[in-house]
Amino acid sequence: MNATQSLHNLGQSLWLDNITRTILDDGTLARYIAGFSVTGLTSNPTIFDEAIAGTAAYDADIVALAAQGITGEDAFIRIALDDLRRAADMFAPTHAGTRGVDGWVSMEVSPLLASDTAGTVAAAKAIHAQARRANLFVKIPGTPEGVPAIEEAIFAGVPVNVTLLFSAEQYLAAAEAWLRGIERRIGAGLDANVASVASVFISRWDKAVAAQVPTELKNQLGIAIGQRTHRVYRDLLASARMQKIIAAGGRVQRLLWASTGTKDPAASDVLYVEALAAPDTIDTIPDKTLRAFADHGHADAGVAADAAAGEAMLARFAQAGVDVLALAARLQVEGAAAFVKSWNELLGRIADKTRHLATAGGA
């Protein structure tokens, strides 16, 4: 049995952390679905920026949109949604077969709206309406400024992928926002089933402390944070509050592991995937890690095996001078800044291509 199928047998969904027009056109995504048990995917501006820069696959669209006066952010949203609709349709059988639990794709709101709750909610509604696909999540960062937007978007009935979470505390704040949005819907007599996932980033922890911890602690912090977050997640699933939502027809907000590609070339290339295997979760991973895990990975209930071990490991990091609360806050701020940088680079890339293609066309 393929190791990726073993993850599904364990109860964990496997999503691809990538989308390009090339993998749609050349059958790569179809092969991942058929051969590697991939049942969803996520996207981000960096992925699209690299695809637009590195191929000519989007050139015709950029030219056609510019001829209609559609440029910049509007052009990107059109281009991205074209790809994501195709992917959503490929995952539609999974979405239907799991009654909306699995089979999702994700599209980001502009990170430039991070401190604008009303603007973020309006953008989330617009993206979801423009997508015209029931299995499309809108990604909203789980920053302190983003939490109110998560609640309002959920209340408005927009499925949300909460991104940029780095700790159990940040995860819980995002989960609370989802809970409040669903509870408000129940109180208003609306459908309680508005799907959401909460994306906790893993590998960036170990990259952040690599130079300051002893060898025996390297590549251990992200896993320990995952273990702590998973325990909080399981406690929330078992809570009376969650049970009331389920009784009203809602579904749980699933925990998603993000950034699970190994950054350290000296570590196992499937380190985080193996360690974070757990029922009722999602792992979203890049192509390289997906292929590596399919080749030589092992699927055991890693993260759920020993929660106490995670706390013991976090105590060792505290002794080594790592303040995980402060580092979580820093990682989230840095992640938000990186999103803005990627977004601006993407829009700059589209503008550059628009000018270049217009010049080439007129020559």
pLDDT tens readout for residues 196-206: 999 999 999 99
Question: Which percentage of the chain shows pLDDT scores above 70?
Answer: 97
Average per-residue pLDDT in the chain?
A: 94
Question: Which percentage of the chain shows pLDDT scores above 90?
Answer: 87
Q: What is the pLDDT of residue 314?
A: 97
Q: What is the mean pLDDT of residues 80-89?
A: 98
Sorting pLDDT into bands at 50, 70 and 90, what band is 360?
Answer: confident
Q: What is the mean pLDDT of residues 114-119?
A: 90
Tell how far CA 29 is from the center of its chain.
Answer: 17
Q: What is the pLDDT of residue 241?
A: 96
Residue 245 has pLDDT above 80, yes or no: yes
Q: What is the pLDDT of residue 359?
A: 81
Sorting pLDDT into bands at 50, 70 and 90, what band is 168?
Answer: very high
Contact 265, 259 (CB under 8 A): no
Q: In terms of DSSP bridges, do strands 12-16 and 281-285 run parallel, antiparallel, or are they unpaired?
A: parallel
Q: What is the mean pLDDT of residues 18-33?
A: 96
Sorting pLDDT into bands at 50, 70 and 90, what band is 302?
Answer: low
Half-sphere exposure of 285 (CA within 13 A, CB side): 31
Cα(8)–Cα(203) distance, integer angstroms = 22
Q: What is the mean pLDDT of residues 279-301?
A: 92
Residue 301 has pLDDT above 80, yes or no: no
φ/ψ of 326, rounded to 5, equals: -65, -40
3-state secondary structure of 29: helix
Give residue for tokens 């998603």. 256
3-state secondary structure of 159: coil
Q: What is the mean pLDDT of residues 34-40?
A: 96
Burial class of residue 211 (count of CB atoms within 10 Å of its CB; 0-12, 13-18, 19+): exposed
Q: What is the mean pLDDT of residues 170-189?
A: 98
Q: What is the pLDDT of residue 363?
A: 39
* Residue type (1 letter), 54: G
**pLDDT, tens digit, 9 for 90 and up, residues 257-282:** 999 999 999 999 999 999 999 999 99
Extract the tokens encoding 63.
């030219």
Instruction: Tell me the domain boundaries of the chain.
Output: 3-355
Extract the tokens encoding 190.
């609306």
Burial class of residue 206 (count of CB atoms within 10 Å of its CB; 0-12, 13-18, 19+): buried
Q: What is the pLDDT of residue 362?
A: 44
Q: What is the pLDDT of residue 304?
A: 57
Q: What is the mean pLDDT of residues 107-113?
A: 94
Q: What is the mean pLDDT of residues 94-110?
A: 97
Cα(307)–Cα(275) distance, integer angstroms = 12
Pick the CATH number of 3-355 from 3.20.20.70, 3.40.50.300, 1.10.1040.20, 2.30.30.30: 3.20.20.70
Which residues are known to be catalytic?
A: 139
| 225: enclosing H helix or E strand | helix 221-237
Q: What is the pLDDT of residue 303?
A: 65
Contact 338, 114 (CB under 8 A): no
For 283, residues 6+ apart whose C-beta sits below 8 A from its C-beta are 7, 12, 13, 14, 15, 256, 257, 260, 273, 276, 277
Sorting pLDDT into bands at 50, 70 and 90, what band is 219?
Answer: very high
Instruction: Name the nearest CA neighbour of 104 among 41, 158, 14.
Output: 41
